[in-house]
Amino acid sequence: MSYFIHLILLSLGMLVFLRILLSNNRRYLKYAGTFVLNFGLRLFLIYMNQHFNFFQTKLEGQAAVNLQKVFLATGHVSIHSTFFLQWLVSFPFFELNGPTFATILIDNAFVGAVVPMGAAYFMYKLYGSRFENYTLFLFSFFPSFISFSIFGLRDIIILAVVTANALASLYMFQARKKSKQFYKAAFVYGGTVFLILFIRPEMSVLLALPFFFYLLRGILVIVKRLSDNYSRVLVLSTLAGLFLLVGASFLYFANHFLISNIGGTGGASVSKIMKVYAQQRYQRQIQNGGGGSAIVHPATYHHLSIGGRLGVQILGMVVIPFPWEIKSITKLLAFGDTLVVLFLLFHLLRYYYRQFKSKRVGLRRFMENPFNVLGLTFFCCVMIYGILVVNFGNAFRLRMSILPYLIFPAIFSLVIKKSVPYAP
């Protein structure tokens, strides 16, 4: 009975909230219908998986439940736990249902169904109804967004935070002459970086990437406005020094994360990291008889050069899995998600090509389009994660977490079908 109350509270609460938010009846019906369909689909898939075990249970799915048990036993929970935010989202319903896995599944399905509502609403405010419709559809029915509702993992919460980060980036760009809106967007942007520290700390660097791209655009504008070469050289030298300082800091923190990730304590080069990862994967899957699924066969990966491993891993962040590796229903479904990603990438890259083909578009003009910035963020994330990931499952999860950086610019390229490049 408590689960029924749980579902009623979430569903009616969202429908009432949408009614208050949307005065237009047509838009309300569109949002409400999409929410009900999306939430219902996720709940149905959860129910089917729990009864027929189509997908293997993930151990981390119980992490927030375990935090609730700790809270009941001790009266407090460590905010440093990477599942703290997920526990916080479900806490009110843990009080209703008790520390149960079903509570996590229902809440994750709800968050996954709410994200498209928020993304579409704010895209409508910025760019209009065509952007709204594409956003509502893609965020509601993207295969990986739906599939991760059934595992009870934190990935749906991560998706919500990254989506907010991408939207805040667009708002900051559009609001550069409206201080109130800019400061609100900047607050949300900073908040997403702060929140991700509680969920997946290494992603905080990735969520900050749009800011650095916008900073680069500002630098290009300033340099262009300088009247003499001496001033340009002085400004560029100063800014180059600042970038080197920021870059050194980034490398320091990245190195610390990478070393801790492979169980080390000292410094390490990329080649050392790749070698250790390859050896761990080889031992886990060949010598120890299983555990996880590599992007390519571990024996093949074990004998590749460092450059070959890195290339495979970066490509394996985009194409998951490689077609010849499809040997299970799980991988077949994952490849279906990949086909959607490739479709969006095709349209985004085609739009990039049209811009650079135009003689009027240089680096500064290219950076004036915030969707170009989000697309660059996606490609940078793919390359950075490519250093870390050799596991099929991890690659799929990490790619899902950065897809908003691809979806928004891909929607822009689908809506704006002009031969002359357009910057909003």
Q: Does residue 117 sit within a domain?
A: yes
Q: Does residue 250 sit within a domain?
A: no
Angle of CA points 65, 69, 70, to nearest 5°: 115
Angle of CA points 307, 311, 317, to nearest 5°: 150
Tell me the per-residue pLDDT of 133-143, one tens digit each, with 9 for 90 and over.
999 999 999 99
Q: Does residue 371 sit within a domain?
A: no
Q: Of the spans 93-107, 215-229, 313-327, which averages the highest pLDDT?
A: 93-107
pTM, full prediction: 0.85
**Domain span holding position 12:** 1-207
Question: Is 242 a residue whose pLDDT tops 90?
Answer: no
Q: 10 Å Cβ neighbour count for 175?
A: 17
How much is the pLDDT for 164? Answer: 95
User: What's the rounded Cα separation, in Å, for the pair 147 and 305?
Assistant: 34
Q: Is 263 left (phi over 0), alpha (psi -120 to 50) or beta?
A: left
Q: Does residue 29 sit within a domain?
A: yes
pLDDT band at 416 (very low <50, low <70, confident <90, very high): confident
Q: 10 Å Cβ neighbour count for 333?
A: 16
Q: Does residue 231 sit within a domain?
A: no
User: What's the rounded Cα separation, in Å, for the pair 232 and 238?
Assistant: 10
Average confidence score pLDDT of the chain: 80
Higher pLDDT, 228 or 383: 383
Assess contact for 295 and 313: CB atoms under 8 A: yes
Question: Which amino acid belongs to residue 18?
Answer: L
Mean pLDDT in residue range 203-231: 69
Range in 6-20, 113-127, 158-172, 288-302 the model is least confident about? 288-302
Question: Is 298 a residue whose pLDDT tops 80?
Answer: no
Q: Does residue 111 sit within a domain?
A: yes
Higher pLDDT, 353 or 21: 21
H-assigned helices in 142-208: 143-147, 155-174, 179-196, 203-207
Q: What is the maximum span of the chain, computed from C-alpha positions, in angstroms?
A: 75
Mean pLDDT in residue range 318-341: 85
How much is the pLDDT for 79? Answer: 80
Give the rounded distance of the alpha carbon of 424 from its chain centre.
Answer: 23
How much is the pLDDT for 424? Answer: 63
- Write the CA distances from 55 to 49, 89, 328, integer angstroms: 7, 24, 11
Range in 126-140, 248-262, 409-423 the model is least confident about? 248-262
**Number of residues written out for the chain:** 424
Question: Is 285 a residue whose pLDDT tops 70?
Answer: no
Higher pLDDT, 308 or 234: 308
User: What's the rounded Cα separation, in Å, for the pair 411 and 420?
Assistant: 17
pLDDT band at 119 (very low <50, low <70, confident <90, very high): very high
DSSP string, 68-89: HHHHHHHS---TTSTTHHHHHH
Look up residue 59 and give its DSSP letter.
Answer: G
Q: Using alpha carbons only, how large is the chain's radius of gyration in Å?
A: 23
Range in 243-257, 308-322, 384-398 the model is least confident about? 243-257
How much is the pLDDT for 265? Answer: 42
Q: Of the spans 11-25, 60-74, 161-175, 234-248, which averages the highest pLDDT?
A: 11-25
Tell me the per-residue pLDDT of 348-366, one tens digit each, with 9 for 90 and over.
998 888 877 776 666 667 7
Higher pLDDT, 283 or 84: 84
Question: Is 307 a residue whose pLDDT tops 50?
Answer: yes
How much is the pLDDT for 396? Answer: 86
Helices 101-127 and 84-97: crossing angle, nearest 10°? 120
Mean pLDDT in residue range 389-393: 74
How much is the pLDDT for 78? Answer: 81
How much is the pLDDT for 295? Answer: 75
Count structural domains, the chain.
Answer: 1
Q: Is 289 left (phi over 0), alpha (psi -120 to 50) or beta?
A: left
Phi, psi torsion values for 294, nearest 5 degrees: -75, 155
Do you find a cis peptide bond into 321, omega within 30 degrees of 0? yes
Mean pLDDT in residue range 25-34: 95
Mean pLDDT in residue range 90-112: 91
Q: Does residue 63 sit within a domain?
A: yes
How much is the pLDDT for 264? Answer: 46
User: What's the rounded Cα separation, in Å, for the pair 236 and 256?
Assistant: 30
User: What's the rounded Cα separation, in Å, for the pair 237 and 264?
Assistant: 37
User: What's the rounded Cα separation, in Å, for the pair 338 and 317?
Assistant: 10
Q: Does residue 262 sit within a domain?
A: no
Nearest in space to 312 (alpha carbons), one of 297, 333, 331: 297
Tokens found for residue 140: 């509601």
